[in-house]
Structure 1
Amino acid sequence: MKRETSGQLSRRQILQRVGGLTAAALVGSVALTQAGTASAAVASSKRFDLTDPSEEWFREILLNETRILQSFAFDNTNKHLYTVQLVQGGRILPGETRAYTGTERDTSGDLCITRLDWQGYIIGRMYLKGFGHGVSIGVEPSGNSAYLWTETNALADSNNDGYGTKIARFKFANGTVVQSDSQQVTRFDPVPGSDHNTVAVDPVNNRIAHRYRVNGTTWKYSLYDLATFKAGTFTALATITQPSVLTGPTFQGYTTMGQYLYTLDGTAYTYDSNGNQTSTSNTYVTSIDWNTGTVFERRLSNAGQSLFYREPEGLAVQIPDTSTPTVARLFLGLGSEESLTQTDKKASFYYKDLLV
């Protein structure tokens, strides 16, 4: 884990303490185009400066499965990290009578949740059958454990990948296998008929963001008060249409804090037959104003650029010390492998923490 040294105020610390300047005055070029439609009234807040260099937290740690990291989220109260992967091919889970291939797991939407401490050690796991692709998850701390928010009721798309048609909430239970129709799972259907449903939780403001697709074509995001959503009342604080700048790239995750939605897109490096890299980073982090649907900032990320393979996988907000909730980190997840022949995936995590 990387720590900053104390002493003179850094540029980051100075800017964090600036109160009178506008966000645009603190950042050089700001993208004010690519607006989606919006309907919102979200209180103004600071935002993460995406020009802030990323700092390394964990580099190439192992998770429970050999497959790529899909997404992750933090339990800031108990200092746990929850990660999501599709179940690896060949694994036989309790209650199953045969091994399933990775392709079959993709189609069914079978996921593995790994719980780690903040030193990077695995301290629990559970399996979800029929839930989805794991593009994004949310965590709601509860005592010394947590409730997890995921997609569920997976439906296979044209590529035979299962994506959620509803939202699920359930308590993490180490060592268990949970079916999507289990009584342990509370299901929510905020936008009936939508598909590719996922969620992310704002741990600072206790809100939940919902990404979904309507009519098989249009991507939307809605923001709700978490307690209200949990009670089954789906009155959105904000709803925006996904900006067109995100239409072409490969979408890889999102999160939210305050007035801003943050998204991640990009693909893995490519290589020739000798293992020489033949592409450069196309990983972008974008901030979007919930009130207007406007892209505020879009920046190329070179975090972890020396990793072999390096695929962007997920965003999440960490509060390092819950007694100081105004200090937050925007985390980016990366999946990698050691070489063309050593393909078991590892996970790395980098963060930005400059709020302006």
Structure 2
Amino acid sequence: MAARLSRRGLLKIGGGVAAAATAAGLAVYGGAATSHAEVPSSPKFVLNGAGGNPVWRKKLHMPKGWAMQMFGFDTAKGHMYFVQHQAPTDPDNPGDLWITRTDMAGKELGAMFLRKFGHGSGMVVEPTSGAPRIWIEGSDLNPVNGAGEKGCYLTYKDGATVDYVDDNHLITDRTPTIDSFAKLPRPAYDPLYNRLLYRYATHEPAQRVWRIALFSMEDAKNGRLGQGNRIAERAIPNNAELGLSDKDYFQGIVPCGQYAYLLFGRGNSKSWIVVLDMNDTGGSMVEKFETRAGASLPGREPEGISIWMVDGKPRLAFGFSSKIGTDPTATFEASVFYKSEFV
């Protein structure tokens, strides 16, 4: 049964714990960098606990041929932001993305077009007093799938088009500089503790090895993303270590306190939420949970996971894209579910 948050628990959630649990050790992959962790303990979401479904089968700005990849929240203004990527990718225009601004039920309020940015599998909405900053991948596009190989942020603006090359003055580079970073940074945001996480590929020669690194948002905003600025860094288990097939694709990550929550799955199949302790190392995980949320959706595919703050308390929100028809003219829809209990 999920425990109610005590005053002590709320202090922990709010960052009021001064003591830090430190764990260090070698990741399980041969040449991978040493893990590093100094994350204070915190509650964990109950993945089989109570939740809800605030967005159900909503069409975004480009419903035909463009699928949701990730989403985030600006709850102070009552807005959600969804990023869409073309499915399949147009070989002549790799890396193009649409961002749709909606109300909290998924009704469209505005949209913005990003050219030559990336795949959109990681996006952060950082609220400000005005329009939010959008953290996303960008530049040096992979010629095969258009995946962005650097990190950046820019200010959201309804109706705008921003080209990564031609409008570079509107974009702030925020690529990690830690030793193990090679490429493909995917940002994620913990609004409760005000921390930014990057998932990224390492220099490992034998295979692509994925790691995560956690920073304070203040350091990240000011470009302090180096070795000495890490709160935590560790390897992500590969699919074999997670007991998943090689076709259970990674579909998003978000940190909340001590834990990182990862979404895996593929269209018309099972979907999983995996929990990692950022104070742990290598191929370890805390929990793997099969979610049946949205089981009735046509072409159901997990797409994106984010923290949604409601009355000062976090919810673990995760999304599914649904599809009517076949590529490249299929109509895509977005649905979002959440978990709200802690233990």
Q: TM-score range by the shorter chain?
A: 0.7 to 0.9
Residue type at the aligned position of 1:50 = L
* Kept in 1: contact 2:175–2:185 (CA 8 A): no
Say whether the 8 Å CA contact 2:325–2:331 is kept in structure 1.
no
Hey, what's the Cα distance between the residues in 2 that align with 1:127 and 1:82? 13
Aligned counterparts of 1:130 and 1:154: Cα–Cα separation in 2: 9
Residue 314 of structure 1 pairs with residue 304 of structure 2 = yes
Higher Cα Rg, which structure: 1
How far apart are the structure 1 equivalents of 2:250 and 2:234? 16
Aligned 8 A contact 2:187 2:199 in 1? yes
Pairwise CA distance, 1:20: 9.8
**Cα distance, 1:289 vs. partner?**
0.5
Match for residue 30 of structure 1? none
Match of 2:224 among 220, 233, 238: 233
In the alignment, what sits opposite 1:98? none
Distance 2:305 2:105 in 1: 19
Q: One-letter code of the match for 2:213?
A: S
Distance 2:5 2:174 in 1: 40
* Partner Cα distance (1:352, 1:337) in 2: 24
Aligned 8 A contact 2:97 2:113 in 1: yes
Match of residue 214, structure 2, among 204, 223, 227: 223
1:333 aligned to 2:280?
A: no
- Which residue does 1:43 correspond to in 2? 40
Q: Which amino acid in structure 2 is aligned with residue 124 of structure 1?
A: G
- Secondary structure of 2:92's counterpart equals helix
Instruction: Return the offset for 1:120.
Output: 2.0
Determine the structure 1 residue equivalent to 2:163: 179
Structure 2: distance between partners of 1:179 and 1:339: 31
**Are 1:305 and 2:295 counterparts?**
yes
Is 2:60 aligned against 1:63? yes
Distance in 2 of aligned mates of 1:17 and 1:251: 31
Q: 3-state DSSP class of the match of 1:142?
A: coil
Give me the identity figure in percent.
31
CA distance in 2, matches of 1:58, 1:179: 30
1:76 aligns with 2:63: no
The 2-side partners of 1:242 and 1:259 are apart by 15
- Letter of the 2:271 counterpart: T
Provide the C-alpha distance between the structure 2 equivalents of 1:111 and 1:175, rounded to a whole number of angstroms. 13
1:206 & 1:88 partners in 2: Cα distance?
33
The residue number in structure 2 matching 1:351 is 338
Matches within 5 A, 1:66-105: 66=63, 67-87=66-86, 102-105=90-93
1:151 aligned partner, one-letter code: E
Give SS of 2:149's match: strand
C-alpha separation in 2, matches of 1:230 and 1:18: 32
**1:135: Cα distance to partner?**
0.4
User: What CA deviation, in whole Å up to 9, does each residue of 1:56-112 have, x standing for no partner?
Assistant: 2111001011221111111122121010011578xxxxxxxxxxx73433xx21111
Could you state the TM-score of these two structures normalised by the residue count of structure 2? 0.82
After TM superposition, the structure 1 = structure 2 runs for residues 1-356 of structure 1, keeping only pairs within 5 Å, are: 15-17=3-5, 38-66=35-63, 67-87=66-86, 102-105=90-93, 108-156=94-142, 160-181=144-165, 182-191=168-177, 194-215=182-203, 217-234=208-225, 235-244=229-238, 245-246=241-242, 248=246, 249-269=248-268, 281-293=269-281, 294-321=284-311, 325=312, 327-338=313-324, 343-356=330-343
Shift of 1:308: 0.9
Give the AA of the match of 2:306: A
CA deviations 1:160-189 (Å, max 9, x no partner) are 101121111111011111111321100122
Task: Note if contact 2:304-2:318 (Cα within 8 Å) is conserved in structure 1.
Answer: yes
- What SS does the corresponding residue of 2:176 show, helix, strand or coil? coil
Farther-moved stretch of structure 1 (134-143 vs 35-44): 35-44
- Could you tell me how far apart the structure 2 residues matched to 1:154 and 1:64 are? 26
Q: Normalising by structure 1, report the TM-score.
A: 0.79
Q: Kindly tell me the number of residue pairs found equivalent between the two proteins.
A: 301
